[in-house]
Amino acid sequence: MEYLSRVLGKMSELPDFRYHPMCKETKLTHLVFADDLMIFCKENLKSIARVMEALQHFSDATGLEANIDKSSMFVAGVDEETMHDMLKITEFTLWTFPIRYLGLPFTSKKWNKMDYKQQVDKITSKITAYISVVKLVDKKCRDFLWGATEDKRKVNLVAWDKVCIPKQNGGLNIKSCCKWNIAAV
How many domains are contained in the chain?
2
- Name the domain boundary from 76, 109, 142: 109
pLDDT, tens digit (0-9, with 9 covering 90-100), for 24-38: 999 999 998 888 888
Mind giving me the DSSP string for the chain?
-HHHHHHHHHHHTSTT----TTTTTTT--EEEETTEEEE---SSHHHHHHHHHHHHHHHHHHS----GGG-EE---S--HHHHHHHHHHH-PEE--S-EEETTEEE-SSPP-HHHHHHHHHHHHHHHHHHHHHHHHHHHHHHHHHHT--SS-----SS-HHHHTS-GGGTS--PPPHHHHHHHH-
Instruction: Please tell me whether residues 93 and 122 are part of one structural domain.
Output: no
CB of 85 closer than 8 Å to CB of 45: yes
Instruction: Give yes or no: residues 88 and 129 share one domain.
Output: no
Q: Quick one: 132 and 101 in the same domain?
A: no
Predicted confidence band at 9 (pLDDT cuts at 50, 70, 90)? very high
Among the candidates 94, 109, 124, a domain finishes at 109
Residue 137 belongs to domain spanning? 116-184
pTM assigned to the model: 0.60
**Of 109, 138, 165, which residue constitutes the final position of a domain?**
109
In terms of domains, do 60 and 39 share one? Answer: yes
pLDDT per residue over 39-90, tens digit each? 999 988 999 999 999 999 999 999 998 888 889 988 888 889 999 999 999 9
What per-residue confidence (pLDDT) applies to 99? Answer: 80
